């Protein structure tokens, strides 16, 4: 762990700390919303340890709190998390080694870890960014979910506090700096438009996967230019 800190640059460590702080607020909101919605505290806590995917957790929670069954909630989470398969390919170079190390790394594959890993070209820095972000976020997320679950009954109406907007706000903060690149901006805006257009017609999770087709647009524009 100490070697990871030495390899990571100060700017990356600072940004990871800020994301951990933001995600801690999101995790607390998840725990609070789940318990305030009538679920026992062990449900959001267990989900956070075993699933560890904020978007899928919120999606599954929304299904359950709206009256859906456990199978529907699991299916929604699986569809939304299917994007992580592609993420795994993108960071596969930092996960080589023993089987148990790869299994642990696979559990830590997420949006934030991918974003920090893709910042770097050097393999050592990529590895340090991935593991530092993954381990730090896993700890912060689960601690905050426990605290949120404990506070859920006292909060009462979580909608009045706007806690459900915390997770999208964190993801937006991660994405905005990357939009400075024209090709990235084109792909992101195209994907967002596709997802918004498909949302009324497709089940939850599928519009997000369909948005990945936006990655093709910059390549097509470059070929036709």
Q: Is the model's pTM score more than 0.75?
A: no
Tally of CB atoms within 10 A around 37: 16
Looking at residue 155, its pLDDT comes to 65
CB neighbour list of residue 208: distance below 8 Å, 6 or more residues apart: 80, 83, 195
Query: Which two three-digit tokens encode residue 141?
Result: 């997320």
Looking at residue 7, its pLDDT comes to 65
Nearest to 109, CA basis, from 65, 154, 55, 73: 55
Gap between the Cα atoms of 27 and 105, Å rounded: 21
Could you give the 3-state DSSP secondary structure of residue 146?
helix
Gap between the Cα atoms of 136 and 20, Å rounded: 7
CB neighbour list of residue 134: distance below 8 Å, 6 or more residues apart: 105, 108, 109, 110, 113
Using one digit for the tens of pLDDT, what is the confidence trace for 194-214? 888 888 887 765 776 677 787
Give the residue extent of every domain in the chain: 2-179, 181-225
Residues of the chain scoring pLDDT < 70 = 1-8, 68, 97, 153-178, 204-205, 208-209, 219, 222-225
DSSP structure string for 170-221:
HHHHHHGGGGGSHHHHHHHHHHHHHHHHHTTTS-TTHHHHHGGGGGHHHHHH
Print burial letters for 203-215: b (CB count within 10 Å at least 16), e (below 16): ebbbbbbbbeebb
Nearest to 207, CA basis, from 82, 57, 115: 82
Decide: 57 and 176 in contact? Cβ < 8 Å.
no
Looking at residue 156, its pLDDT comes to 58
Looking at residue 125, its pLDDT comes to 83
């Amino acid at each position: 762990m100490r070697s990871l800190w030495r390899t990571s640059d100060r700017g990356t460590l600072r940004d990871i700390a800020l994301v951990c702080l933001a995600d801690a607020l999101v995790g607390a909101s998840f725990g609070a919303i789940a318990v305030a919605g009538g679920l026992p505290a062990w449900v959001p806590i267990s989900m956070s340890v075993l699933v560890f995917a904020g978007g899928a957790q919120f999606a599954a929670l929304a299904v359950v709190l709206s009256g859906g069954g456990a199978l529907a909630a699991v299916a929604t989470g699986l569809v939304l998390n299917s994007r992580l398969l592609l993420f795994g390919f993108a960071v596969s170079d930092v996960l080589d080694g023993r089987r148990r190390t790869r299994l642990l790394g696979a559990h830590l594959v997420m949006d934030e870890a991918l974003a920090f890993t893709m910042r770097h070209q050097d393999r050592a820095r990529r590895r340090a960014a991935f593991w530092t972000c993954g381990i730090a976020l896993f700890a912060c997320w689960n601690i905050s979910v426990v605290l949120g679950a404990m506070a859920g009954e006292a909060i009462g109406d979580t909608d009045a506090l706007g806690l459900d907007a915390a997770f999208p706000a964190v993801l937006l903060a991660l994405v905005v700096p990357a939009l400075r690149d024209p090709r990235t901006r084109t792909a992101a805006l195209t994907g967002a438009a596709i997802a918004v257009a498909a949302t009324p017609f497709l089940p939850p999770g599928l519009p997000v996967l369909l948005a990945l087709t936006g990655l093709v647009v910059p390549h097509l524009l470059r070929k036709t230019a």
